[in-house]
Structure 1
Amino acid sequence: MATFGFLKNKKTPPKTSVTDKRVPSVPDAVQIYLVRPILSEKATRIKEADNAYIFQITDRANKITVAHEVASLYKVHVTKVEIVRVPPKPKKTGRFSGYRSGYRKAIVHVKQGEKIELI
């Protein structure tokens, strides 16, 4: 008896050859290591003087992944990447004290003559 339907004859879909179809690998650009560009007065001075751009990055990012992601997103040639850890800073509001979050930032140097349009 097929009371709940699991003993009924079910039609199976025709099988296709799996060897011809391959699953594409996930490119590195899909994994987001760049959090946001840092747009400050100091970052603007560095951009004008050294042709470098500053990005906030995740904790898992390294120089190679940052260089690949910037090159693929902005279509530029990256010549050098520097990574700096910005420490958390103590802040106080009235009688309450806490810490402002620390983060990592990457200074990405781009080939002369190339630009990244951030805004």
Structure 2
Amino acid sequence: MTFEDVLIRPVLSEKATALREQNKYTFIVAPSATKIQIKEAVRKLFNVKVVDCTTVNVQGKMKRLRGPAGRTASFKKAIVKLAPGETIKVFEGV
């Protein structure tokens, strides 16, 4: 698995924006990615020093539209904490 395959996309929510003040950045990652792979991918792609990585498996929500109930897709989310003074330029101004 390459570094580009590990990180799928950044999370741009209100909660993720509030976490950026604590130097934490949130990404949707591949379900099979480990914390070590996520740290390495962020370090190599954004050229920053990663201090900590927390992962969360988010279960899909039950949804229903006229017919039988269905479920939205489940995904894996990673919250990456950077060393003090480090930033990811892609997130700036968003």
**Band the TM-score falls in, shorter-chain normalisation:** 0.7 to 0.9
Q: CA RMSD in A?
A: 1.7
Aligned residues, how many?
91
Q: What is the alpha-carbon distance in structure 2 between the residues aligned to residue 29 and residue 89 of structure 1?
A: 29
Deviation at 1:28, TM superposition (A): 4.9
Q: Please, which runs of 5 or more residues in structure 1 have no aligned partner?
A: 1-26
The match for 1:7 is: none
**3-state DSSP of counterpart to 1:69:** helix
Spell out, residue by residue over 1:42-90, the C-alpha distance to the aligned partner (whole angstroms, 9 max, x if none).
Answer: 0000111x20000001111001000000000000000000010101110
Deviation at 1:94, TM superposition (A): 2.8
Tell me which structure has the larger Cα radius of gyration.
1
Q: What is the alpha-carbon distance in structure 2 between the residues aligned to residue 110 and residue 66 of structure 1?
A: 13
Provide the TM-score with structure 2 as the length reference: 0.88
Q: Which has the higher contact order (CA 8 A, sep 6+)?
A: 2
Q: What is the alpha-carbon distance in structure 1 between the residues aligned to residue 17 and residue 78 of structure 2?
A: 14
The match for 2:32 is: 60
Higher-strand-fraction structure? 2
Q: Which residue of 103, 109, 112 maps to 2:75?
A: 103
The match for 2:59 is: 87
Q: Please, which runs of 5 or more residues in structure 2 have no aligned partner?
A: none
The match for 1:15 is: none
**3-state DSSP of counterpart to 2:89:** coil
Q: Does 1:29 align with 2:3?
A: yes
